[in-house]
Structure 1
């Protein structure tokens, strides 16, 4: 009888061990953190906690409200090849609402505007006919190439010079790399540029959701998925210290004084933030650098012509890097009759002097840019200036993705767009990176996830125009 009771106790203990899932702390509640938590929760893991310093989940995909309307922190659009995003829009039931529009992308150069997708403008663009044909050859080759691993160690300059020619680089791509990274093409990854051109961001139709701001629809929808799966979320706080024992994180101390016991940790915060939590230097993460963005969202009753969605200020003589007419893609954003603009500047780092200028100084520069381009004074009736300190990783020549599993701490996993090279850094790649981290944890603990394969194989069934 005693042996039978002891056997029953051992069986119950073994069953309880199998059923008890690890305590997982997700650092950061942006899209990568949300997706990682969802991947684990979908597999039945019921002790997952997201720690997010902001007032809501979403990170860079967050929104703000003005006069009952929601607006993005900076421009966002849905790409037809962004499988991670399309999968999650489908999962939350929002994909049938997406509408697709062909947009106009303009280049402002030497006081003139050019739409390179328009045959007449393309012929007017200050570049020789032979170089224009080389530019077309470059674009067609990039459209047709999906695997860019063979360009990992080569520069954007080499890519453009090889397939397009030096004059194409000097006329188009050198200014674009200066606007995006404040770097010459020689310092930017050829694999990244090729992958970005492959996505056809400027020539293929872009998506939006009528009646609102699609990033809010996405973040609210994924938040509901997490709520339904009983994922715990701690908002308005962040990690200030990691308790480490024997190369494992056992505790996460928050800046509000709470401590969370941890069996596993997923870091989805920028690498600079993660390194500040560590007790020793991490040379394997030092190569990751981030650009910052100053983004002014504003509304005016003025009519702005020509109509465009995206304008690159390629003359390099403006305060701003680009302008976006948000209502040209989504006619329902804001109130009827509003022209909603996003004027923004990529800056090298959040330590840049411009990043710390006052709102009035920044807006004065943007109004001067607007007047230079359109010839009249911009008169917005509301503005909001957003400063995004670690906006996007710089995919420089020779960039390597940091490992998914931390190189030192054995129970820490990493996710975020700094791990998505050479793909274009997007909402979808952030989501897919989080899913990959969750799937890796499940695999390391004897489980599986069908989400990575589902995302990789996802295809649009239709693209309704609107």
Structure 2
């Protein structure tokens, strides 16, 4: 069987390592960081084990359920009824169901009806190819009208994509609407899930299974260069020396690929280099009490610089009635705010939390933290599918993919697991 090197111990890299070891390959997973898990890795947040970047599970995440069953965690899924809110006009409004939409006061009745129609149709649509060359702006405006786009969608797009806001793929937006819409028992009952103990439960089990099958996960071991000879991969030069291999699966972010794989043809390097990314500063607050009853609150206020709040404890409860809130600042890393010091960002974000719930005060803050990621969200413009190079590179034995290869699906553990299994299946026995 093949000697396989997997670059990156995020969810995709670990799932690839697991499936490869199960197939009988000799597996080494190389991780630059001090811990496995990537964006799913946990840390101790004032006594609570929590992710730096939030994750949740939907009813449609079949690859996740299949993997959990395989590794003995099938009974670790927990489901909870969740709700959404929309903060605009200085008030918090319920959101995400037909009655809440009809009662929402800040757009016309016709706009509300057309917004609901688009959401309803999106959850039932199966194909995305007709949307691939359209922008979300074009698609939403055609279905729902300019008022819906300008008042309900554009503010959120601008705070996540900045100068790219009007040029985001309709197919990418559709899959997000569909995924959440299909995680419902009814129009009025949304259910989202989490793994008991958080994503770290899955990360730890995958590391254990890889080791039990003779593989290894090497932490603090950054891959420096993929080595090739005669058009075939021969191994990986890492911080601790050369690791020979018959096959390599790279899950590193695409901006690193050109430098890490110098033997790729120039036109392939250009494809990886042309993929733009948005960074994120993801802020976490642990509070003595909840901010809202909702899991997700979209925010559309002209002087609020975040698209929303994720009150994670309204999905995965924590003890003593305390609350954990994620405040994501998506932005290009060239934005001056990306380089603000942690305290300045945290103070601004807390002022927004207090806008949503003025009863929350400094005395309610138990802990706060900033996590940063330079390559958090690929910019998926219209025609993005044609922009992506194939996963199998022209170098024999070398496959390359990161989260943008999930397109049109968004980043998530389920897509990581699916693509990892597909890549392992291509490795010759």
Q: Same fold (TM over 0.5)?
A: yes
Which residue of structure 2 aligns with residue 312 of structure 1? 298
Select the structure that is richer in strand. 2
Larger Rg over CA atoms = 1
1:419 aligns with 2:402: no
**Does the 8 A contact of 1:73 with 1:295 survive in 2?**
yes
Deviation at 1:166, TM superposition (A): 1.8
Structure 1: 4+ residue segments shifted above 6 A: none
Residues 130-145 of structure 1: pairs in structure 2 closer than 5 A: 130-145=110-125
Which residue of structure 2 aligns with residue 251 of structure 1? 235
Instruction: Give deviations 1:214-247, integer Å, cap 9, x for gaps.
Output: 2111111222221222112111111112333223
Q: Using the alignment, how far apart are the partners of 1:365 and 1:285 within structure 2?
A: 35
Which residue of structure 2 aligns with residue 216 of structure 1? 200
Structure 1 gap segments, 5+ residues each: 1-20, 448-466
Q: Using the alignment, how far apart are the partners of 1:95 and 1:392 within structure 2?
A: 29
Q: Using the alignment, how far apart are the partners of 1:244 and 1:352 within structure 2?
A: 38
Residues 354-433 of structure 1: pairs in structure 2 closer than 5 A: 354-376=337-359, 377-378=361-362, 379-400=364-385, 401-406=388-393, 408-433=394-419
Which residue of structure 2 aligns with residue 323 of structure 1? 309
Query: Structure 1 pair 139/49, CA: closer, same or farther in 2 (3 Å)?
Result: same
1:240 aligns with 2:224: yes
Deviation at 1:316, TM superposition (A): 4.5
Structure 2 gap segments, 5+ residues each: 185-189
Q: Secondary structure at the match of 1:125?
A: coil
Deviation at 1:351, TM superposition (A): 3.9
Instruction: Give deviations 1:390-415, integer Å, cap 9, x for gaps.
Output: 11222111102321111x32221123
Q: Using the alignment, how far apart are the partners of 2:350 and 2:48 within structure 1?
A: 24
Deviation at 1:67, TM superposition (A): 4.3
Deviation at 1:346, TM superposition (A): 1.0
Tell me the C-alpha RMSD between the 2 structures: 2.0
Query: Structure 1 pair 104/300, CA: closer, same or farther in 2 (3 Å)?
Result: same
Deviation at 1:68, TM superposition (A): 3.9
Query: Structure 1 pair 174/41, CA: closer, same or farther in 2 (3 Å)?
Result: same
Which residue of structure 1 aligns with residue 53 of structure 2? 74
Instruction: Give deviations 1:117-168, integer Å, cap 9, x for gaps.
Output: 3525642331111111111110111010122122111111122122222221
Q: Secondary structure at the match of 2:415?
A: helix
Q: Using the alignment, how far apart are the partners of 1:219 and 1:94 within structure 2?
A: 11
Deviation at 1:264, TM superposition (A): 1.4
Q: Secondary structure at the match of 1:199?
A: helix
Q: Using the alignment, how far apart are the partners of 1:225 and 1:149 within structure 2?
A: 38
Query: Structure 1 pair 126/61, CA: closer, same or farther in 2 (3 Å)?
Result: same
Query: Structure 1 pair 316/55, CA: closer, same or farther in 2 (3 Å)?
Result: farther
Q: Using the alignment, how far apart are the partners of 2:310 and 2:76 within structure 1?
A: 23
Residues 195-344 of structure 1: pairs in structure 2 closer than 5 A: 195-200=175-180, 204-210=190-196, 212=197, 214-256=198-240, 258-279=241-262, 281=266, 282-304=269-291, 306-331=292-317, 333=318, 335-344=319-328
Query: Structure 1 pair 227/382, CA: closer, same or farther in 2 (3 Å)?
Result: same
Aligned residue pairs, count: 414
Deviates more, 1:375-384 or 1:236-245: 375-384
Deviation at 1:183, TM superposition (A): 4.5
Deviates more, 1:276-285 or 1:62-71: 276-285
TM-score by length of 1: 0.84
Q: Using the alignment, how far apart are the partners of 2:2 and 2:399 within structure 1?
A: 14
Deviates more, 1:191-200 or 1:169-178: 169-178
**Does the 8 A contact of 1:156 with 1:185 survive in 2?**
no
Deviation at 1:276, TM superposition (A): 1.9
TM-score by length of 2: 0.91
Q: Secondary structure at the match of 1:126?
A: coil
Residues 21-170 of structure 1: pairs in structure 2 closer than 5 A: 21-45=1-25, 47-117=26-96, 119-120=99-100, 122-170=102-150
Instruction: Give deviations 1:8-29, integer Å, cap 9, x for gaps.
Output: xxxxxxxxxxxxx222111111
Q: Using the alignment, how far apart are the partners of 2:258 and 2:303 within structure 1?
A: 36
Instruction: Give deviations 1:184-221, integer Å, cap 9, x for gaps.
Output: 653010111111111126863101245x3x21111112
